Amino acid sequence: MERSLTRGGRGLFVALFCAAIFFTQAAPSFADDKGEPAPMYIPSEGADDTPKQPPNEVFLDADEISYSEKTGLATAEGNVKVRNKEVRLFAPYAEYDADTNIVDAYSDHRENVVIMSGGDRFTGKHLKYNMETRRGVLTQVSGKSEAMYMQGGTVRLMPIEDAVKLGIVRAPRKKKKQSESEDVAEWLGVTSTTCDFTNPHYRLVSKKVVVYPGKRTVIKKPKFYIGKTLIMAYPFDYIANSKRNRDALMPIIRYSSNKGMGFGIKGPIDMGDIGELDVAGLYWSKGIWEARFNYNYEIMDSLSLFASAKHLYNEDTDDTLWRPAWGLLYEKNGWLARLWWAERDLVGNEIEPDVSVDYDVWRKPEFYLHTPWFKDGVSGGQFRIFGILGKYSDNFSKDGEWTDRLAYGAEYQGQPKWSLWIFKPFYGARYTRYDYYDKDRTQDVTNAWFGFSYKIGDFSLASTYYRRWADGGSPMLWDNYSDSESFSQSISFPLPLGASWEKWNFAVSGNYDLQADKISSVRYTLTYDKHCITWQIWYRDNKSDEKNKTEFGLTFYINAYPEYKLEFGSDSNESVKEDF
């Protein structure tokens, strides 16, 4: 009876997984383009309320408006605002022709012309724009798309249909629910950067940029500069920001005692509407090379097909193998469901504080499902539940022994707004039940932590206690856990160096293994924040792992993308696995 109940739970989990998926479900002219006249609303003096906007209606507002019914020309001066349902534009002076729907907007010595569409903002000296057809030209442009500041050149604004006719973009896939037409901006002769300085520390220079307002920005074969120094020329079209893509263009520099010096590059490649491809390559001086290819294709809203091939080195087994994976991913409103297969997936298991072992894991396949985070108003925290069903092997080949596993549990985390004097608490816990029903074994693993962050003058401190309880065991090695208990302490303080826009900081953090009664690691970090970019020099003494007793390095990252780091000197395979 006990086994049949367990298998019934397995069937229920698959049913819930499927239910979550089911229920959550001719070249144009730009300068003189004419179209059907659109109504125009000119607010009367002293009007308080703006009426509801009919389709294609244009609203014009300014300090002073002169309108000729005979010619249909409106002249607006001072704080000019023009808008319809697609765009908004601002200028010190503008002329609007109601017969052609064309706006001519001009800057002056104090203010520029601004046009906003799809969440993106463009600023220039002169704009000629058709409010009906959404075609126009903006000159001497600067703008911002997500975290990217861009300037220089001329921008042509147009619907995506026109961009397809001109060969600027590929024709989009037709979807069941076709939304209203999208806009595209083609930017010629542009410099892109995440730094708002006049002379940015970091920039991408390209002859052409294509902006899908509010969605993504494609920089055509950019050159990557730090300051005035050319670091590299990227051979592909680079996607600067995307909802699907989370990678960034970056050189890779590493050092490992096992592999030597490593040099490479990583970044996304634009494939239009047939998907997105992220690539990375890394060559080590001891003759080892590593590579990664990640492909993503959006089948429908929130559902995508993914595939990857990673050529990674395992320091624990001293081999370099291809590690393919593929499957389906569904994400919507905090729900996540994934069905995937993997061969020789490199998975690390921390056997004690600061000591981890990597294993080659096969998945055939794995179902994973987690709920959104649910708020807990009483404690100020949040929780979610999850379930995993799969078949696994941690052998070198698929011919090895396989194990069926059902895992389910819940996790909780909190950082309330209240504090105890200067102490701000944070805490969390995660419980997982593992049922290896074909081996008649189970494992219960509970992780819990709590701590306080606090400030004493200019000193920022954080203290954390961590505990893991493991009851039972696994027939495999990669998910066989043991008890663990540790305490960590960090302290950081600013240094009185540099200009007002520069920040220097020194930090020390240590981890203490309470079970072994010894310090497991100590790390020292000197940070230099130069407004738009950050440099870190660090040294780590890993006292628990004899293979990596000491580590040191230099880390560089752009402040707009702190998750993407350029590192030199890391003696750990973890940083390479994260990059790849």
Q: Each residue of 11-50: b (16+ CB within 10 Å) or e? A: eebeeebeebbeebeeebebeebebeebebebbeeeeeee
List pLDDT tens digits, range 351-371.
Answer: 788 788 888 899 999 999 999
Distance in angstroms (rounded) separating the CA atoms of residues 74 and 103:
9
Take residue 100 and report the two structure tokens written for it: 């052609």
Provide the token pair at 196. 């708002």
The count of residues in the chain is 580
- Where is average pLDDT lowest: 70-74, 251-255, 412-416? 251-255
Does the pLDDT of residue 102 top 80, yes or no? yes
Helix, strand, or coil (residue 398): coil
Q: What percent of the chain has pLDDT over 90?
A: 32
For residues 157 and 187, give the distance between their C-alpha atoms in angstroms, rounded to a whole number: 9
Residue 19, classed as helix, strand or coil, is helix
What pLDDT digit, counting tens, does each position of 280-304 carry?
888 888 888 999 899 999 898 889 9
DSSP 28: P
- Please state, in angstroms and rounded to a whole number, the distance separating the CA atoms of residues 394 and 380: 40
Q: How many CA atoms lie within 13 A of 7 on its CB side?
A: 6
Mean per-residue pLDDT of the chain: 78
Strand spans (E) along 62-169:
64-68, 73-83, 87-97, 102-106, 113-117, 120-124, 126-130, 135-139, 142-145, 148-151, 154-159
CA distance 483 to 468: 5
Instruction: Please choose, from the candidates 360, 348, 416, the residue with its C-alpha nearest in 3D space to the C-alpha of residue 393.
Output: 360
| Calpha distance 546→92 (Å, rounded) | 68
Q: List all residues 6 or more positions away from 306 whose beta carbon is below 8 Å from its beta carbon.
A: 294, 295, 296, 297, 325, 326, 327, 328, 329, 340
**% of the chain residues with pLDDT over 70:** 72
Q: Is the pLDDT of residue 326 over 90?
A: yes
pLDDT higher at 385 or 358:
385
Token reading at 111: 């203010």
Q: What amino acid occupies position 570?
A: S
Which of 210-214, 453-457, 495-499 has the least mean pLDDT?
A: 210-214
Terminal CA-to-CA distance of the chain, rounded, Å?
45
Q: Which of the two residues, 103 and 116, has the higher pLDDT score?
A: 103
Lowest-confidence pick of 60-64, 347-351, 376-380: 376-380
pTM: 0.64
Closest to 560 in 3D by CA, of 527, 525, 531? 531
Residues 476 and 498: their CA atoms lie apart, in Å, by 54
Answer yes or no: is pLDDT of 33 > 70: no
Output Rg (C-alpha) for the chain, integer angstroms.
Answer: 29
289 Cβ contact list (under 8 Å, min separation 6): 281, 282, 283, 311, 320
Q: Kindly state the average pLDDT of the residues 46-68.
A: 65
Q: Which of 349, 335, 434 is nearest to 394 (CA)?
A: 349
Q: pLDDT for 435-478, tens place per residue? A: 998 788 999 999 999 999 999 999 999 999 999 999 999 999 89
Q: For residues 60 and 375, give the distance between their C-alpha atoms in angstroms, rounded to a whole number.
A: 44
- Contact between 82 and 131 under an 8 Å Cβ cutoff? The reply is yes
User: Is the pLDDT reported for residue 337 higher than 90?
Assistant: yes
Structure tokens at 138: 């903006």
> Distance between CA atoms of 243 and 266, rounded to whole angstroms?
18
Strand duo 40-41 + 58-61: pairing = parallel
**Do residues 310 and 323 touch, judged by C-beta distance below 8 A?**
yes
CA–CA separation, 448 and 357 (whole Å): 22
